[in-house]
Structure 1
Amino acid sequence: MAEQALSLSYGQAFVAPERRRHRSSMSVLVPEDAAALGAKGVCALISDSIWRNAIAKQAGDLSVRGFLTDYYSTPAHWEVKDSATRVLRALNSWSHSQSRYIEGGSYVSSMSAIVFRGAEAHLFHMGDTLVFRLRGAEFEQLSRDHVTDLGGYRYPSRALGLDGNLDIDYDRLPLKQGDLFLFTTRAVRGTLMPSDYVQLIRSDVSDLDAACERLAEAAQQRAGARGYDAEQFCFQLVRIDRLPEREPDAPEPVYGSMPVPPELDVGERLDGFEVLAVLSRTAKTRVYRVRDVHGGREMVLRAPSPELSSRNAYLEHFLLQQWIVDRVRSPFIPRRIDIGRPHRYLYYLTEPVNGETLADWARRHPQATLSQRLDIARQLAKAVQALHRRDVLFQQLRPDTILLDPHGRVVLGFFGACHRREDDAMARELAREVGLSEHSAPEYALDTEVGRRSDQYSLASVIYWLLTGRLPYAQPPHELRSHTGLEQMHYRSARLVNPEVPVALDEALKRALDPQRALRFRRLSEFLLALRDPRRASAEEERPALREPANLWQAVAGVLLLLLVLSWLIR
């Protein structure tokens, strides 16, 4: 029997006087997709801003919507803590930066979020929102109050958007069937006692919405009796109905919930796919052309190598490759195919690319025009730019990893060296493991920091080769052994080999290929601009010097001097 999925119920209630601004927001999101539920779990969260904030409602709603949207967009193989922390820090940076443009308000809000995945709950807390757990008769507060007293008023501290650096409380809690989690705001302080919560919730736990309504009514009555009935109250209950269970004799998953496929040959079948051809067998991956026996559609099936079935680090990288295909929306990245039926093994499917490598295309088209080659160069730059927008380093850019379909469209189909962190030793190690080439940036050989500008170097090197058939430096950078070798690298102008290359493009290539990483273009878009219309840029540079302001005034001064001499002669 397959592993049961996590099941929970929830209820909500909100009470706010009309004359007060709505400033709280809450939500529970249960993914409909079983894969997303298993990888990312269920999110329940609450957000609250201060009533003196002119945009309190927007601040509360933004933090909730932003977290839910971005959290479920993170790679499936990332751990819950890593995914949520990155999303919260990015959201905090944006909120903090935008608050300076708001008069009388800010995007500051307290927030508490719990991610329920498997048999565990992951709590993330900032500010003064409240989270409680009711287990049996035990009622316990899980969150900590972070408040500051200023002028007799209590303000949340360590809240989302309050400062450029976010300090997040994190806790990992085991779940039990029947656990109840209560989310509320600081406004409830001074109204209900722990015994009130337990009594009001336990009086009828079959209807969680009704339980939240009882809590809201009781809090409002207590607040009115104490003279501050203008407060708003927000309650959200989440109950764990069923935890995932596994049969005693069921095998442990190799990674996630699926094992690595076995070695396949032509004619064999896997999950309803018949292998038509073995496209690639490497130390890390297997690539097959397959046909769906149910619909007849041909696809490409990519799976980890069977030898990696017990090496989670490599399986994580395989899942990153799947995430790239799934999340990077670009015509230059193969589209992932969802067949709508469950997998028994760890693999993913993409559309087939019927084409050839850039190296093969260049050999077959030695007389290709400059315009044709620049069109390929521009497509290639946009493909790399699409990866960079998702913080992905390609690291394997060379003519034999770039595909061209029959219509001349560039496709990047090899992701064996992709990495998601800049300046990371793991990125360099991964690139060297896959194999450096003459198009690799010098920093890989010298074991220094790598990043987007390293991909920029490889891109420019491939474009230089595409335009000239040669390499920009006499000594390939991947053969460097020390930093002194950088000083001996002298750029060979592309115009010396191919005079058709515009001056502006040659200068752009020279900068993008600078041996010093810091001296290359800051952004890939700057290099892409030089590729779009290099002839126009060159024409502007080669216009007569009279267009320059200094030369223009020199010419005017010369004319005036001539007129002055003529006036003397006439006298």
Structure 2
Amino acid sequence: MVESELSLSVGQAFVAPERRRHRSSMSVRIPDGPLLRVKGASAVISDSTSRNAIAKQAGDISVRGFLADYFSTPDHWDVKMSATRVLRALNGWCHSQSDHIREGSYMSSLSAMVFLGREAHLFHMGDTLVFRLRGAEFEQLSRDHVTDLGGYRYPSRALGLDVSIDIDYMSMPLKQGDIFLFTTQAVRGTLMPSDYVQLIRQDASDLNAACERLASTAQARAQERGYGGEQFCFQLVRIDQLPEEESDQPGKLYGDLPVPPELSPGDRLDGLEVQEVLSRTAQSRVYRVRDMYSEREMVMKAPSPELSSRNAYLEHFLLQQWVVERVNSPFVAKVMESSRPRRHLYYLMGYVEGERLSDWARRHPQASLAQRLDIARQLGKAVQALHRRDLLHQQIHPDNILIDSHGQVVLADFSACRLREGDGHKRSRELARQLGLTEHSAPEYALDDDVGRRSDQYALASTVYWLLTGQLPYDLPPHQLRSHTDLEKLVYHSARTLNPEVSVALDDALRRALDPQRALRFRRLSEFLYALRDPQGQVRSHNNPRLLREPANFWQGVAGVLLLLLVLSWLLR
């Protein structure tokens, strides 16, 4: 007898002259097979605060982003952890994007419901509306988070509104026949609870038709009362079938897998044969392995056998795979899938046929400045790819950078990688310190100050400085600082004194990116990477940092030249 699975039906309807002008977005994803049993199904609706193109884009991105990232979270995470992590990452990205636009913002209300097993989990922020129809009972599940300003109602809690987000969460048991309605604030003042029940129940077998009835009735009511009826949307989800028995959460199975034992070349595990031991540290083991079925060579990373009881570390270890999966860049290591099911705790990455940057530098002492800058620019693109996904690497140094036989850079080792947080990255800093700081770590890690993207900027610049000069920018390694007064001991050594090929402009860019004070570094990583693309300083005058710092001296010089030309022209008459 085949065990029954969760089964849902869906209906949708929009009222808009053109769908692309609608400020609301909604979608449902019902995966197949194992993913449905592990992660369930999800319905999402978003509603932006304005009607411009940016607002529409924010709504679409939030819906698509949630559905893509939620189903990519590690299997061992429960629904609440998975959805919360994804929503916080989306919120951080939307909030950061709003800083780069003049009109509009990446801000939207959002409600997401996950149906897993015999339970529903609701995540809500803002003023989108979620109702449940059970029998004749029609109940609103979401709370309105709104503020009245000058007669207008605005969301007081929304995705992208602030750097941190407070998410309403509730779970509830499901019953066969439950119908969930997702809509927006535009419907307020048009339909009564009895209208919803009547219009949905009129022909509950066709949810699309029910949504069309809701939309047309709401539009007619709005026009009768003298206001616009062009922004209505309705989404219905019906529970057609529930699993017969609520089994143990499948998502925990992966987290309960045993840590692999110590492995040596020739050993086999889950159809993978160990070819070489690449690294053994206190936290992890890294092996080069060959898939005996597909013949592919890959890299296996597993926790150290001695840490099998340290659940906090194992939780972060499992996060690493999700981190790598979120980033799509040729300059960042990629996650691979084994041809057989895993029976031990590890993850696989693509094998890079190459060497570490530290080994490359030893073998190529005569490499040109152009070669070294090309490597630096590729590394910068890898760090940018992480930052676009609101991730900090925190361990950028030559031993974590690989160069293949074609000269392409691949950033590896995500042991200290973490998502952007709203607490000054306190937990990120603690994780980096636990794994061990390096001579390229930014000073704020040693001084318990807030860390962020500019901390990665420092590590990147320090690695580039080392690549260009073979030395470190300061006599005292920043990771050995003991107090803020020690910052005065950090005196920058000009890269030009160690490598005359380094231009003045490039040296200035390195100096700024390596400033001991995090706030004084480049505001955006792209500014530093621009300097790497233009090492001779052939930049427009308004992009020159020295000009920006000393505008008075610049214009005094211009005035002096003009005065000299005027005097010469007078004397030569």
* Helix, strand or coil at the partner of 2:491: coil
Comparing 451-460 and 239-248, the one that deviates more: 239-248
Larger Rg: 1
Equivalent runs, 1:96-245 vs 2, <5 Å: 101=103, 112-125=111-124, 129-135=128-134, 139-144=138-143, 158=156, 170-178=168-176, 179-184=178-183, 187=187, 193=193, 208=207, 234=234, 236-239=236-239, 241-243=241-243
Q: Does 1:67 align with 2:76?
A: no
* Structure 2 letter corresponding to 1:69: G
Match of 1:549 in 2: 558
Equivalent runs, 1:383-422 vs 2, <5 Å: 383-421=382-420
Deviation at 1:458, TM superposition (A): 1.9
- Note the residue ranges of structure 2 that are not aligned, 5 or more in a row: 75-80, 545-553
Matches of 1:222 and 1:461 in 2, distance apart?
A: 65
TM value normalised by structure 1: 0.78
The alpha-carbon distance between structure 1 residues 243 and 550, as it changes in their structure 2 partners (threshold 3 A), is farther
8 Å contact kept, 1:80–1:122: no
Deviation at 1:9, TM superposition (A): 0.9
Q: Deviations over 1:213-250 (max 9, x none)?
A: 78779x689969x99999668351321622495668x9
Match of 2:524 in 1: 523
* Structure 2 letter corresponding to 1:84: L
* Helix, strand or coil at the partner of 2:273: strand
Match of 2:9 in 1: 10
TM value normalised by structure 2: 0.78
Deviation at 1:79, TM superposition (A): 2.8
* Helix, strand or coil at the partner of 2:73: coil
Match of 2:274 in 1: 275
* Structure 1 letter corresponding to 2:73: A
8 Å contact kept, 2:294–2:339: no
8 Å contact kept, 2:48–2:58: no
Deviation at 1:109, TM superposition (A): 7.1
Equivalent runs, 1:455-534 vs 2, <5 Å: 455-534=456-535
The alpha-carbon distance between structure 1 residues 185 and 387, as it changes in their structure 2 partners (threshold 3 A), is closer
Deviation at 1:431, TM superposition (A): 1.6
* Helix, strand or coil at the partner of 2:519: helix
Matches of 1:538 and 1:223 in 2, distance apart?
A: 60
8 Å contact kept, 1:71–1:83: no
* Structure 2 letter corresponding to 1:400: D
* Helix, strand or coil at the partner of 1:291: strand
Deviation at 1:416, TM superposition (A): 1.5
Deviation at 1:429, TM superposition (A): 1.7
Q: Deviations over 1:131-181 (max 9, x none)?
A: 333456654332345678999x99675485897699866231132341432
Match of 1:322 in 2: 321
RMSD: 4.6
Matches of 2:404 and 2:507 in 1, distance apart?
A: 28
Matches of 1:44 and 1:109 in 2, distance apart?
A: 16
Matches of 1:465 and 1:327 in 2, distance apart?
A: 30
The alpha-carbon distance between structure 1 residues 340 and 283, as it changes in their structure 2 partners (threshold 3 A), is same
8 Å contact kept, 2:89–2:419: no
* Helix, strand or coil at the partner of 1:484: helix
* Helix, strand or coil at the partner of 1:10: strand
Matches of 1:443 and 1:154 in 2, distance apart?
A: 44
Matches of 2:374 and 2:557 in 1, distance apart?
A: 32
Matches of 1:93 and 1:370 in 2, distance apart?
A: 34
8 Å contact kept, 1:489–1:515: yes
Q: 2:90 aligns with which of 83, 87, 92?
A: 87
Matches of 2:160 and 2:403 in 1, distance apart?
A: 49
8 Å contact kept, 2:445–2:451: yes
The alpha-carbon distance between structure 1 residues 449 and 290, as it changes in their structure 2 partners (threshold 3 A), is same
Deviation at 1:468, TM superposition (A): 2.0
The alpha-carbon distance between structure 1 residues 222 and 259, as it changes in their structure 2 partners (threshold 3 A), is farther
Comparing 76-85 and 288-297, the one that deviates more: 76-85
* Structure 2 letter corresponding to 1:173: S
Match of 1:285 in 2: 284
The alpha-carbon distance between structure 1 residues 308 and 520, as it changes in their structure 2 partners (threshold 3 A), is same
Comparing 156-165 and 410-419, the one that deviates more: 156-165
Deviation at 1:361, TM superposition (A): 1.8
Matches of 1:462 and 1:396 in 2, distance apart?
A: 11
* Structure 2 letter corresponding to 1:350: M
The alpha-carbon distance between structure 1 residues 283 and 119, as it changes in their structure 2 partners (threshold 3 A), is farther
8 Å contact kept, 1:46–1:64: no
8 Å contact kept, 1:475–1:489: yes
* Structure 2 letter corresponding to 1:80: A
8 Å contact kept, 1:39–1:76: no
Match of 1:568 in 2: none
Matches of 1:260 and 1:170 in 2, distance apart?
A: 36
The alpha-carbon distance between structure 1 residues 487 and 333, as it changes in their structure 2 partners (threshold 3 A), is same
* Structure 2 letter corresponding to 1:238: R
Matches of 2:183 and 2:332 in 1, distance apart?
A: 44
Matches of 1:436 and 1:147 in 2, distance apart?
A: 45
Matches of 2:94 and 2:15 in 1, distance apart?
A: 27
Matches of 2:405 and 2:138 in 1, distance apart?
A: 66
Q: Deviations over 1:374-399 (max 9, x none)?
A: 22222222222222222222222222
* Helix, strand or coil at the partner of 2:139: strand
8 Å contact kept, 1:457–1:512: yes
Matches of 1:493 and 1:46 in 2, distance apart?
A: 54
8 Å contact kept, 2:291–2:339: no
The alpha-carbon distance between structure 1 residues 130 and 425, as it changes in their structure 2 partners (threshold 3 A), is closer
8 Å contact kept, 1:47–1:60: no
Q: Does 1:27 align with 2:14?
A: no
8 Å contact kept, 1:495–1:506: yes
Identity %: 54
* Helix, strand or coil at the partner of 2:466: helix
The alpha-carbon distance between structure 1 residues 144 and 411, as it changes in their structure 2 partners (threshold 3 A), is closer
Q: Deviations over 1:178-204 (max 9, x none)?
A: 14323356648675655x866876788
The alpha-carbon distance between structure 1 residues 495 and 262, as it changes in their structure 2 partners (threshold 3 A), is same
The alpha-carbon distance between structure 1 residues 493 and 299, as it changes in their structure 2 partners (threshold 3 A), is same
8 Å contact kept, 2:132–2:140: yes
Comparing 58-67 and 357-366, the one that deviates more: 58-67
The alpha-carbon distance between structure 1 residues 550 and 68, as it changes in their structure 2 partners (threshold 3 A), is same
* Helix, strand or coil at the partner of 2:440: coil
* Structure 2 letter corresponding to 1:170: D
Q: Does 1:297 align with 2:293?
A: no
Q: Deviations over 1:46-89 (max 9, x none)?
A: 45689xx867x996796256323345236614532342355357
* Helix, strand or coil at the partner of 1:72: helix
* Helix, strand or coil at the partner of 1:79: helix
